[in-house]
Structure 1
Amino acid sequence: MSMLKALLDRRRNTELALPDVRAAHACASWLVGYPGDDLIERLPQLGEIAAGLDPRLGEPLARTARALASSDVLELRSLYVDTFDTRRRGCLFLTYYSNGDTRRRGMALVRIKDTYRRAGLEVPETELPDHLTLVLEFAAGHDAAGGMKILTQNRPGVELLRMHLEAISSPWHGALEAICATMPPLGDVDIEQMAQLAADGPETEEVGLDGYGADAHNLHPASRPGPTGCGSATEQPGYGPGTVPGTGPTQGRTVPEGMREFPLTPARSEGASS
C-alpha cells in the first residue's frame, strides 16, 4: 500500500487559482473529446490557453494538444475509439469505475443528472451524464464546486484512467494528468479504493442499468451502455467509430422550458460525422 501511495500521491495543490482550474477543465473537456473537425481546428487555440496556465496544469495540457496536432487525423480517430471505446480500462464514464454495472450506478447517474438540472442544464438524450467531457464542461462553465465534487466522488476511476493512459503512452495522458492535478491530495481512502479497484475491477450485476430509465428523466435508450457499461462499444449499435459515445447525434430531444441545452459546445455532436 505504501508503494502504491508513493506512486500515486503526486503533488496536488489546493492553492491553484480558480480561473486556472476552470480553464484547465475546459481545455481538458475538448482534448478528451472525440477528435472531430472542430477539435482539430481548435488545437492551436487550446495550446495557447494551456501556455498561459499554471505549469502544473498547462504543461500536460499543451503536451496532449501537441501530440494530437502532430497525428494523422484518421489514425487519431481510430486510436481514440480503440483507447476509450473498446477497453474497460479506458472508460470515460466515471460511475462505471465506482459502481460497475449495478443498481447503484443507475442511481449515481440520476444524481449527476439532477445536479445538472439544478444548474438549469439539460443533458441531451443521447448522452450519459457521467461522461468525463460533460463533467469537465460543467465544472468549467457552470459550477466549479459542483463539478469538482463529481470528479472527487469518482476519484479512484479518474486516477486509474490516468495511470492506464500513462502505461500505454497515450497522447491523452497529459489531459488526465492535468485533471488530476486540479484535485486535492489523495487521501488514504482514495488509495485503498484504487488498490481494490485495480485488483478486482468494477462490480457486475445481471440487472445492468434497468433502474436508470425509470428515474433518469426519460434518457434515450440508445445512450445506455450495454451489459458491460464500458469496453464493448464496437458491439453496440451507434457506438462504433461513426457515433462515439459522447459524440452522437441529439436530434429529437426536448429541452424543458427554462433549461439550457447541454453540453455547451457542439463539437461532440458534429465531430463524429467526419
Structure 2
Amino acid sequence: MTAGHARLSRAWQTQSLLLGYPDEHLLGRLDLLTQAATSLGDAPLARFVGHLRATPPAQLAADYVATFDHRKRCCLFLTYYAHGDTRKRGMALLQLKQTYAAAGLHLVDDELPDHLAVVLEFAAAQPGQGRTLLLEHRAGLELLRLALRDARSPWADVLESVSATLPPLIGDQRQAVAKLAAEGPPAEQVGLAPFAPPEYMPQTEGAR
C-alpha cells in the first residue's frame, strides 16, 4: 500500500467509526480517534471528536437518531439517493454485498452494505475499490454533506472530511448534485423486501 493509500485508509477508517451510533464502544475510543484526527491533520474530524467529548452521551444518541433516522436528506444509506424505494436499489444492494464478499468482507445480518460507515470501512481495507464506490455515490454524498451543513449538524464535519478525500466536483457531478437536490430520489415503492427491511428505510421528516 502506498503512503497516499495508507493515509486515505486511516481517514476512511476514522470517518467510518465516527459515523456509527455514539454508544459506549465509540465513546470509549475517543483518545484513539483524537490521535487519528491529529495525525491526519484533519481539522473537521478533530472538531467532531471534540464535540463527542463535550456532549452528554444521552444527548449524542438523541441527536444521532433525530438527524439520521428522521430526515430523508440526511440518510446514511447511499443507494437511497440514487435509486430511492425502487427495484434498482435492491439490485444495487446485492451488487455491493457481492463486491464485499469477493474482497473477503462479510457483513452481519443486521448490516446493510450501503450504509456510509460500512462503505468507508470497506474503503479503508480496499482503498482502490473503496474510492471507486465513493465516487459512484458522489452525488448522494454531497447532498448528505450539504443537508447536514444546512441543519447545522456536528456530523457535517465528518462529511466535510469524507468529501476532502475525493477529487473536487466537476461540471457533470455538480449538475448531478443539483438535480438530486431539486428532484430527490425515485419513489417507486416496490421491489425491496428481500434486501431492505422497512426498519432500515429512511423515515419522513418528524416521523417517530
**TM-score normalised by the shorter chain: which range applies?**
over 0.9
Contact 2:72–2:205 (Cα < 8 Å) also in 1: no
Q: Does 1:78 align with 2:65?
A: no
Q: Does the 8 Å contact 1:68/1:171 carry over to 2?
A: no
Paired AA for residue 120 in structure 1: G
Partner residue of 2:88 out of 82, 88, 104: 104
Aligned-partner residue type, residue 197 of structure 2: R
- Return the alpha-carbon distance in structure 2 between the equivalents of residues 232 and 167 of structure 1: 17
Alpha-carbon displacement from aligned partner over 1:178-234 (angstroms, at most 9, x marks no partner): 101111221222111111110111111031414xx2xxxxx6xxx5246x9312599
Aligned residue for 1:155? 138
Structure-2 residue corresponding to 1:192:
175
Who wins on radius of gyration, i.e. which is larger? 1
1:31/1:175 contact within 8 Å kept: yes
| Residue 231 (structure 1) aligned with residue 206 (structure 2) | no
Amino acid at match of 1:186: L
Aligned 8 A contact 1:100 1:229 in 2: no
Q: Which runs of 5+ in 1 are unaligned?
A: 1-15, 214-218, 241-274
What's the counterpart of residue 245 of structure 1? none
Equivalent position of 2:158 in the other structure: 175
Q: Which has the larger helix fraction?
A: 2
Note if contact 1:91-1:161 (Cα within 8 Å) is conserved in structure 2: yes
2:7 to 20, 30, 55: 20
On the 8 A contact 2:89/2:192 being kept in 1, the answer is: yes
The residue identity in structure 2 corresponding to 1:27 is T
CA RMSD, 1 decimal: 2.0
Q: Does 1:164 align with 2:147?
A: yes
TM-score normalized with structure 1 length = 0.71
Alignment length (residue pairs)? 206
Counterpart of 1:52, as a letter, is: S
Shift, 1:33, TM fit: 0.5
Deviation of residue 157 (structure 1)?
0.7
